[in-house]
Chains A and B, each alone.
Chain A
Amino acid sequence: MNKKVSNFIIIIIMSFVISSCSNVSSSNSEYQVIEKYVPNAISEEGVVVTPFNTTISLTMFNSKDINEYFPLFEKEILKLHKYFDRYNYYIDENGKRINNLKVINDSYGKNEEIIVDNELYDLLSLSLEMTRLTNGYFNPTLGRLIDLWSDKFFIIPTENSDPESTLIEEALKCSVNKENINDVIVLDPIKKSVIFNKIENCNGNAIISLGAIAKGYAIEKAKNIVENVPSLIDGGRSSLVATGINPNPARDTWNLGVLTPYTAINLGVLSIKGELTFSTSGDYEKCFYITNPDGSLTIRHHILNPNTGYSENYYRSISLLSNGNAGVIDALSTALFNINDFSLVNEIIKNVEDFYYLDIEVLFEKEIIIDDKKRINVVANQKFWNLMLDDSISSVVNKIDILE
């Protein structure tokens, strides 16, 4: 055989062998994206209950890690869900009813001292602190108000009507402001107990709701379980904790989409290396719209202003990025949604950063109409904006203002 032909055949064979082997190797390599969801809980009455009324998942990047950590993760999330659920009772492994948030709400105005587990005590304590730090824009005593609205909200906007204004006023009387909240929810750090005192002028029962903070707190606790193993801990696709360095062979950063109110359009992509906490709140997740007398539409959504009893329309979406404490970040995103004054926004963020030793970056999305087209004006910290990949910024962005 001609030597040149022989060499050519050998080169062809080796090319196939090498390319095939490299593909086999990457297919078989440890890197896999494996997401597992926490299953439903069963209440004392045998009702199937979705943890935190949403989906909680753990994503890891090889089967060994997910098999090792997910059972512990699942157990922790289900335990915390049972403590923080205000709708259902649960039984512990000894057959005894757990003193959870529903039990505390049942004790309203009865001067009963309820001994609770450490995590529920911690979360109540965190909630009172966040009420103070956010000037009451985060408020854990809005249960009555939330129950008036919640059945009207839907995942896609449908037309509906507001609850009766008199009912909203009554519900607001059963929430308590930041000055008095420590007198209504009385915590004893030694006994780890709670007394839920009567609120003056409240007819009927007041209700504590931790929906705006509990999920974040839970995924923050779950972070301790996975330690520094690379993982994504997702709380209902609105809160995220990322741990470790992204093991993706293509990049070592975590790339997060920043959502717009418009289906399937990202405002841009955040790219961050290492551990992070992210939270986003929008008016398009659980909402309805009302038709105003002039024919215009107003969106009503699930983030209620504790001062007015209604949702606000200052922003379509808020995203917060931090170096830790997902519970705090969750509560803060809810509070900021109700504030239009950026000097107050800055003051509250600084309060929280100083108290919890956090670095918090924010991005607000405001909607404007230009030539009958919906566009987004962005107000963001310089650092948040710098972390966005340049080529990822959507054309729906009309203007960017940097928050000083």
Chain B
Amino acid sequence: MDISLKKNKTDLFIVIIATLVVVFFVVINLFYSNSNDNIISVYYNNNVIHTMYLNIDEEYIMEKESFPLLLDKMVIEVKDGRVRIKEEESPKHYCSIMGYQSQKGTSIICAPNSVMVVIEGYEDTGIDWTPGGVANDN
């Protein structure tokens, strides 16, 4: 009888340890796989000046007074898991024309304003490079 009780306690101990080990590795796994998810970096003059998150709706307003390289006020909007340049001043408005973006690794570049919005991370689509930017003249 004593032997059986002791055996049951040992079993319980092993099961608890096993559960804890599994939980530990599951947590570690989740932490590493999601550490870079959803982050949007806003660069101004090649420095990160603000971080946004794809899963948190936000409007970030950059005023010319604080960021002198801007041509005018700029508004960056995160909404429903996507980001866009909502307002900007530039000769041809290329970066606001890009509209909402949500894919990891995508950059929205507002070169005349020295601003770049990058959805951090990398998604292997099987393609390393696709053309389609703004060409130069002859």
Contacts and interface: CB of A to CB of B under 8 A. Distances in A.
A244 interface: no
Contacts of B131: 237-238, 240, 256-259, 278, 280, 282, 319
A285 B133 CA distance: 7
Interface in B60-78: 69
B51 interface: no
A302 B137 contact: yes
A50 B95 CA distance: 14
A9 interface: yes
Contact of B32 (A6, A24, A150): A24
Contacts of A285: 132-135
Given A1-B7, A13-B21, A269-B127, A48 B134 contact: no
B129 A257 contact: yes
B124 A248 contact: yes
B72 to A, nearest CB: 13
Interface string B1-22: 0000001001100110010011
A256 B129 contact: yes
Interface stretch (A25-33, A115-123, A358-366): A25-33
A61 to B, nearest CB: 10
Nearest to B69: A48
Interface size, A (range):
35 or more
A55 B15 CA distance: 58
Interface string B41-81: 00001100000000000000000000001000000000000
Interface string A47-58: 010101111000
A197 to B, nearest CB: 21
A234 B129 contact: yes
Interface stretch (A186-194, A208-216, A396-404): A208-216
A19 interface: yes
A109 interface: no
A160 B91 CA distance: 17
A35 B107 contact: yes
A23 B30 CA distance: 9
9 contacts: A13-B21, A19-B25, A37-B46, A50-B111, A156-B97, A238-B131, A255-B126, A269-B127, A285-B132
